[in-house]
Structure 1
């Protein structure tokens, strides 16, 4: 998600940000309309999973081994819907930050136009995720009230590298699991299409976020870097721990309390999360954002 914090350029002055122009060109060549690309009309086939079972929070636990095949599929459908709902929540935060940042800036600038393109992408993604969750037979899963208020605070105070790196954390975690889901023939076809669309379009957002994170950190002092490193880590913790709502277990017909206990102790799922974030952590380390306080929250979220 592009959030430019550079000073607006004079009108008609060529942008010096070639990344934004290349991403605009890429978007023009390869973008999707979920309303026509996704099969919304075919009824849900409950013989499919909603996500790769290896990504389930209960995969590898004693409870998983006791579950019937139908229960496992029902659970992954609810979990996929919960991840989608969390994605909508965070995308709404990002859209507000972007709109606030580009307000009154030169709309002829490539970076501003890329920001508007990303907002359009995220609007389509949010509608796509909402329709997908509904088709999976799930309710509107929402993060805990505390997470909602922390998100409200974050979108108000985050700027520069704090905003870009937090965007990167959210998108990179989702990107790795969705790349597995979109290739997995056990996953219901319309969810695979949704994941493919999101992976393709978010790859552009992540490229810009990495570039902007480096750019802003190049002029950040030591204190600002340390403060933002912690803010990014806290945001990552809240996002990741909000992905799977505790109600997915009851809605899949499981014992909610037992499922929560086993999910929290599930070493397989923790290892999947750590593996998915290896590249992200290498990037954060390379730009000096893995401070000791930040590492505490990444470990709590099982990202490192």
Structure 2
């Protein structure tokens, strides 16, 4: 029986070769080729947004109320482009983390084969997001230099539950956002389709990450869990704070400082972020990775 993306997201992990085989079999039957699934030649409707307006960092603020429809469309297209660019940046790290973890794995095992399948998926996703940004005429948005350099160190040394914890955090947050975007009637078709592809295929990736975290923590002590919780939470803080580049506001013809101030104080967006992290926080708590120090990081970016 073929499981849906939602069933993959909610079913319990089991430490069996059969579980990994099932994930691998699903990747063979429910996968997409963005080059053919997305209508790249369709003209962009000038009235459609890049993401659901409710997901804009300025939605509900006084500044949003003053903006023209054209400005709102431009802003949301640049916001989704910035999020996609951040996704590409993180997927580059993700691939290196998985490769290092599987370096000495048994090649005949389904776990190894699914790990490489996930890497192949991420390559396609990165190319898909890059092409979507080009189509929307969105420039390359990059996280701040200090975040890029900190991440360079993390991807070089992180292993086990820390590596898969960072992977899970980034995937879970984007998953909830894209579930809304793919159903948004006022969202560009290219964003709706790329979101659907990502949601379906990332459902397997999140299941795999949760499985690997549990496996690596199976015999871990309290100190190891505390360290892992702190590093994962700190990474989440940097990822979330880097998702929307401040340059998106200038692209929409807004005053950068005014827009940043209102975005930072936007309780509507803060509530959406907390909502998107409910399943993630439940899992981290069950795994012993939601410590008091870690909670401070999550609260700082409104994930908790």
What's the TM-score bracket when you normalise by the shorter of the two chains?
Answer: over 0.9
Contact 2:181–2:192 (CA under 8 A) maintained in structure 1: yes
Query: Which residue is 1:262 aligned to?
Result: 262
Segment of structure 1 superposing worse, 83-92 or 36-45: 36-45
Contact 1:48–1:188 (CA under 8 A) maintained in structure 2: yes
- Residues 196-225 of structure 1: per-residue CA shift (max 9 Å, x gap): 000000000001111221122121111111
Deviation of 1:18 (Å): 2.2
Taking the aligned partners of 2:154 and 2:17, their CA distance within structure 1 comes to 27
Query: Which residue is 1:158 aligned to?
Result: 158
Ranges in structure 2 where 5+ consecutive residues have no aligned partner: 1-14
TM-score, length-scaled by structure 1 = 0.93
Taking the aligned partners of 1:90 and 1:49, their CA distance within structure 2 comes to 24
Deviation of 1:104 (Å): 4.1
- Residues 272-295 of structure 1: per-residue CA shift (max 9 Å, x gap): 000111111111111111111101
Query: Which residue is 1:284 aligned to?
Result: 284
Provide the alpha-carbon RMSD of the alignment.
1.1
Taking the aligned partners of 2:156 and 2:17, their CA distance within structure 1 comes to 26
Taking the aligned partners of 1:98 and 1:140, their CA distance within structure 2 comes to 25
Taking the aligned partners of 2:126 and 2:222, their CA distance within structure 1 comes to 36
Query: Which residue is 2:48 aligned to?
Result: 48
Query: Which residue is 2:5 aligned to?
Result: none
Query: Which residue is 2:35 aligned to?
Result: 35
Taking the aligned partners of 2:215 and 2:104, their CA distance within structure 1 comes to 22
Taking the aligned partners of 2:293 and 2:153, their CA distance within structure 1 comes to 20
TM-score, length-scaled by structure 2 = 0.93
Contact 1:46–1:74 (CA under 8 A) maintained in structure 2: no
Contact 1:85–1:142 (CA under 8 A) maintained in structure 2: yes
Query: After superposition, where does 1:181-220 map in structure 2 within 5 Å?
Result: 181-220=181-220
Taking the aligned partners of 2:193 and 2:260, their CA distance within structure 1 comes to 30
Contact 1:19–1:208 (CA under 8 A) maintained in structure 2: no
- Residues 27-83 of structure 1: per-residue CA shift (max 9 Å, x gap): 011100001111111222221000000000000000000001111111000000000
Ranges in structure 1 where 5+ consecutive residues have no aligned partner: 1-14
Query: After superposition, where does 1:127-142 map in structure 2 within 5 Å?
Result: 127-142=127-142
Segment of structure 1 superposing worse, 294-303 or 206-215: 206-215
Taking the aligned partners of 2:131 and 2:207, their CA distance within structure 1 comes to 27
Query: Which residue is 1:57 aligned to?
Result: 57
Query: Which residue is 1:5 aligned to?
Result: none
Query: Which residue is 2:85 aligned to?
Result: 85
Deviation of 1:167 (Å): 1.0
Contact 2:20–2:110 (CA under 8 A) maintained in structure 1: yes
Equivalent residue pairs, number: 290
Query: Which residue is 1:21 aligned to?
Result: 21
| Correspondence 1:110 to 2:107 | no
Deviation of 1:16 (Å): 4.5
Taking the aligned partners of 1:108 and 1:217, their CA distance within structure 2 comes to 24
Taking the aligned partners of 1:147 and 1:210, their CA distance within structure 2 comes to 25
| Correspondence 1:72 to 2:66 | no
